[in-house]
Structure formats: structure tokens, C-alpha cells
């Protein structure tokens, strides 16, 4: 899969801008007027929407959230500890909730991935697309989840948590419980995205 993704072109504004405008027009034809770009969004991707807003062709209400870690493309390398914290600070410093069309709020934490490539993090093995047993793939270690939770609670940054499999939920809920014992987080309006699989206990908690 990495080999295939590695052949994809990097973000090129000459292609990305007209493609984005075409996509917006197609959404309009379906009656969609608002989108949430809350996953795999780096500064350049968010900057594309900012450029469209500044030059005035943006005709869609857009809310963005910065990805905490780089891992979506094979050419991306994990951030250093310092750069990871700097990304959290960037999400905080660029928060903007006043524009009618383009807003930025929060940072996204995704530690695993989807089903189809065998990335979803589960506690028991399952058969991957390659016919091998797997428990999924971890892209962001748990200690960084704790760093991100602490920063968001201390600085009021909204969390967009992508919890796909049981292991994601187990570890996040344990970390969030430990944090909640020190800092009130119940009313923070954090977001759960891509909740593929969860148990009744996960939902209750």
C-alpha cells in the first residue's frame, strides 16, 4: 500500500485549488453547504482553504482541525517530540471561530487506521487483507496521546479523537479518566470521529 501511495503527487496548488472548487460545486449540487475537514489536515492543506477564503472564491462553510501527527502518506516522517508539541501549539494559536465561512478549531489525534488495509487496532487478532493475523497498526504511541490530552486540557484546545477499534477506545478512555481525575474535561465538547467499532462499555464510559 505504501508503494502505491508513494506514487501519488504532492499537494500542488495548481491542481488542488481547481479540484477543491469543483468538489465544492458537486457538494452544492447535492445540497451540502457545510463540511468538516477534521482528518489528515496539515498546515498546507488548511492553508489551501485560507487562500480560497482570502481570494474570495470559497462558497462553502468549512471547519478545519489540524492533525497532531504526520503519518498519512509514506513520505511523511514521525514528528520529533518538540515538533509534536509545536503542532499542538500551532492548533491553539491558529484557532479562529469568527469568520462566517472558514473556521479552525482543534487538533486531531488518530492512533490507528481503517479496516481495509488491516490498520484498525483491536485487542484480539483478526485476518488482514494479506491473509495474516494482525491486531492493527499503531501510528501514534500512547505517551503522545497523554501529551496531547494534557496540552488540550491545559490550553483549551478542542480534541478531535479518531477512535476506530477497541484498543483505541480502551487506551483513550483510560488516559482520559486519569486526566479527568486532575482536570475537569466533561464539558470540553471534544469530538469522537470514525467510531467504527466500540463496545457497550465504551459507549457508556
Q: Running along the chain, 205 residues long, what does each successive block of 10 average in pLDDT?
A: 70 88 96 95 94 93 95 82 95 96 96 91 95 95 96 95 96 97 92 92 93
pLDDT at 81: 93
pLDDT at 74: 73
Cα 115 from Cα 134, distance rounded (Å) = 11
Task: Tell me the DSSP string of 87-140.
Answer: HHHHHHHT-B---SSEEEEEEEEE-S--TTTT----SS-EE-TTS-EE----SS
Given a contact cutoff of 8 angstroms between Cβ atoms, the answer to whether 43 and 66 are in contact is: yes
pLDDT at 118: 93
Given a contact cutoff of 8 angstroms between Cβ atoms, the answer to whether 197 and 164 are in contact is: yes
pLDDT at 2: 64
Nearest to 108 by CA among 192, 5, 19, 49: 192
Cα 34 from Cα 56, distance rounded (Å) = 16
pLDDT at 73: 75
Cα 127 from Cα 151, distance rounded (Å) = 36
In order of start, what are the domains of the chain with their CATH numbers? 2-204 (3.20.20.140)
Cα 48 from Cα 68, distance rounded (Å) = 18
pLDDT at 1: 61
CA 9 → CA 21, 42, 74, 75, 188, distances in Å? 19, 16, 12, 11, 38
Amino acid at each position: 500500500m505504501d508503494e502505491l501511495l508513494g506514487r501519488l503527487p504532492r499537494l500542488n496548488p495548481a491542481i488542488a485549488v481547481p479540484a477543491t472548487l469543483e468538489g465544492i460545486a458537486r457538494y452544492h449540487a447535492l445540497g451540502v453547504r457545510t463540511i468538516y475537514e477534521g482528518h489528515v489536515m496539515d498546515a498546507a492543506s488548511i492553508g489551501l482553504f485560507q487562500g480560497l477564503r482570502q481570494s474570495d472564491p470559497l462558497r462553502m462553510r468549512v471547519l478545519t482541525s489540524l492533525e497532531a501527527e504526520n503519518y498519512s502518506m509514506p513520505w511523511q516522517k514521525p514528528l520529533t517530540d518538540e515538533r509534536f508539541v509545536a503542532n499542538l501549539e500551532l492548533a491553539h494559536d491558529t484557532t479562529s471561530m469568527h469568520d462566517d465561512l472558514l473556521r479552525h478549531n482543534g487538533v486531531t489525534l488518530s492512533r490507528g487506521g481503517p479496516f481495509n488495509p488491516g490498520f484498525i487496532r483491536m485487542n484480539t487478532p483478526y485476518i488482514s487483507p494479506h491473509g495474516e493475523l494482525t491486531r492493527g497498526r499503531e501510528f501514534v504511541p500512547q505517551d503522545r496521546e497523554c501529551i496531547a490530552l494534557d496540552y488540550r486540557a491545559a490550553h483549551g484546545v478542542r480534541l478531535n479523537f479518531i477512535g476506530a477499534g477497541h484498543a483505541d477506545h480502551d487506551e483513550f478512555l483510560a488516559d482520559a479518566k486519569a486526566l479527568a481525575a486532575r482536570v475537569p474535561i466533561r464539558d470540553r465538547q471534544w469530538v469522537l470521529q470514525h467510531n467504527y467499532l466500540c463496545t457497550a462499555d465504551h459507549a457508556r464510559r
